[in-house]
Amino acid sequence: MRIPDPRKIPLVGKLIVRVIRNIRKRRFTTSEDYWIKRYKKGGNSGAGSHSLLALFKAKIINEFVAENGIESVIEFGCGDGDQINLFNFKSYKGFDVSHEAIAICNSVFTNDPTRQFDLIKNHSNEKADLTLSLDVIYHLTEWDTYDGYLRRLFDSSTRFVIIYSSNSDDHENNDVAPHVKHRKFTGWVTENAPDFKLIKHVPNRYPYNGDGRISSYADFYIFQKTSTNG
């Protein structure tokens, strides 16, 4: 006799999911600690950095870089560097919170002087034509971390900022995992980075369909600096 999966039994399944979520919440400490531990355990940057989602992101970003004569790029939250192979940049520097992620990147790109990597705590006001944030913002669960990250992202750009993220406070996925918190970050930009204007919104070619491996909540939001002050 075939035994049914208890998670697929309406009441039992909901209870199991709730118990699992509570366990995960109790184990969760901070967003930074989550990613440090994830890479230490051999985890990667997630589905968004691989396969068709990574190809979609690379296409949008590479076209923008070519069209706007971008010479230098900084990414905050570079992860394990897998999708960096797809980017056509003259000069790139990636920052991350994880020692393991940075070590992986430095090993992969050891013979490529156009690619540099360091811990985000070592960022010392370096600036670039374009700063990138890809699948990062909705993983910054603490307000101070979120606020500090966005300030660094916009303060480090001399021309453009590209963000690939969800953009909603009231998001259906906000209670699913403790390391995920969706926010309407464009409101933060309007209030705290008035020198930047949203010039383009690119909807995801693969909008979320229930399978995070092949679809995403994130869209592209491209900002341009309208003031040369600073």
Residue 13 located in a structural domain: no
Residue 204 located in a structural domain: yes
Q: Residue 188 to residues 85, 108, 140, 147, 172: CA-CA distances in angstroms?
A: 31, 35, 14, 8, 20
Residue 39 located in a structural domain: yes
d(CA 137, CA 125): 20
Residue 149 located in a structural domain: yes
Higher pLDDT: 108 or 14? It is: 108
d(CA 104, CA 110): 10
Q: What is the CATH number of the domain that holds 201?
A: 3.40.50.150
User: The domain containing residue 131 runs over which residues?
Assistant: 30-225
Residue 67 located in a structural domain: yes
Q: What is the pLDDT of residues 21-47, one digit of tens each?
A: 444 444 556 776 775 677 777 766 666
Strand order in the sheet with 115-119: 115-119, 92-96, 73-76, 128-134, 157-165, 219-225, 196-202
Residue 230 located in a structural domain: no
| Percent of the chain scoring above 90 in pLDDT | 59
Q: What is the pLDDT of residues 174-208, one digit of tens each?
A: 566 667 889 999 999 999 999 999 999 999 999 98
Residue 57 located in a structural domain: yes
Q: Is the pTM of this model over 0.85?
A: no
Domains identified in the chain, total number: 1
- Written as one letter, the residue type at 132 is L
Q: What is the pLDDT of residues 80-116, one digit of tens each?
A: 888 898 999 999 999 999 989 899 999 999 999 999 9
pLDDT at 171: 63
Residue 2 located in a structural domain: no
